[in-house]
Amino acid sequence: MGFPEDFDSLWEDVEGCLEPLVELRETHNAFEIYLDLPYVKGESIEVRFSEDALLVVAECSKAIKFERWGFTQKRTESRYFRKVIKLPHKIDPTKATSHFKNGVLKIRVLKI
Amino acid sequence: MSEEPLQIVVKKDLKFENPVAIEGFPDVGLAGAIASMHLIENWGLEEIAYVETPLLPPIMVVHNGELLNPIRIYGNKNYIVLTSEIALPLTLLNSLTKKVVEWLSSVNATMLIALTGIPVENRFEIEKPAVYGVVSNKEHADLLSKHKIEVLQEGFISGIYALFLKECLKAGLPAIALIAQSFLKYPDPGAAAELLTSLSAILSVSIDVKPLLENAEEIRLKARDLIKQTEKVAPSTYRNVEGELPLMYR
């Protein structure tokens, strides 16, 4: 699967997807990635890994549409969060762990 | 209108009765901003003034079809709440805090309470964020301790709330900062709720945080752009100093 480039606006409509807020932390042997995923339930999250990146797709429990909002948001109905996170180091996906709590996903993956 | 670079423009003249001022400008986790906006709604406050300055980017806000200035002041005769819907550039903070404190002194405010967050690495693991306090005078330290709010004894503070405390100290206006453990990069309604719970205890006034927590997901979604803006114009690196210890011990 190709991982497309990130985009700046959080409201760009890419196939009904929103970009989540992401925080990347690095330790000497691992990366910890945190994603803020409101309206998502844990079982609807999918994470895929490549040798130096991960793709997170999470389905929202309801369609997100703000009809009274600005010109962009009004036209969009989003059902997913989607994000490609590129890492500055190769990783071992077989050692990845994840926890989802209070709408925040934490993924920990070891460097190779 | 005078030539000053920043002014408070009063829209409604209220007969204040020794009001308490509460500021919740966008900062770490938007904890203060979320809390202040909830207060405005929960208490049914009306807009009484706004900040006018050419130092802001060319932005206006539209709510219910009405044009509003981005930095607004709400209030009733007992409370004044200050908030902003845009991130505040660092270059604005000195003049903003100075002018606001001057205005609060002119309306005989009795105290300013600043609401903000402090980023903690393990916020993901924390169910109930703790709230800490910084006071401009020792008398309020007792008030916070009485409500089991730990008062900072040694350290640095930084951010708009630090400037507010500084200006209040200069003006002789008592000030308290309430600081909740929060996420750095995400809107944190949980931290905002804890700030409001502490505020409610200090002021002995009712603040219903249930609607805030029930709407947490919507708030997190709507506040995403603001937290990204806030990070861009006021990078969190300047808050790193709060983890350091000052050299002097007395």
pLDDT single digits (tens) A33-58: 999 999 999 999 999 999 999 999 99
pTM, whole model, 2 decimals? 0.90
pLDDT single digits (tens) B33-88: 999 999 999 999 999 999 999 988 899 999 888 999 999 999 999 999 999 999 99
B221 burial via Cβ count (<10 Å: 0-12, 13-18, 19+): buried
Instruction: Please judge whether A11 and B220 are an interchain contact, meaning their C-beta atoms are less than 8 angstroms apart.
Output: no
Residues A24, A85 contacting (CB under 8 angstroms) = yes
Residue A27: list chain B partners with CB under 8 A. none
Residue of B nearest to A100 (CA): B124
Residue of A nearest to B123 (CA): A104
What ipTM does the predicted assembly reach? Answer: 0.84
Helix, strand or coil for residue B217? helix
Task: Round to whole Å and give the CA distance between B67 and B26.
Answer: 20
CA distance B185 to chain A (A): 7
Q: Which of A21, A66, A104 sits opposite B124 (nearest CB)?
A: A104
Residues B164, B95 contacting (CB under 8 angstroms) = no
Residue B218: list chain A partners with CB under 8 A. 38
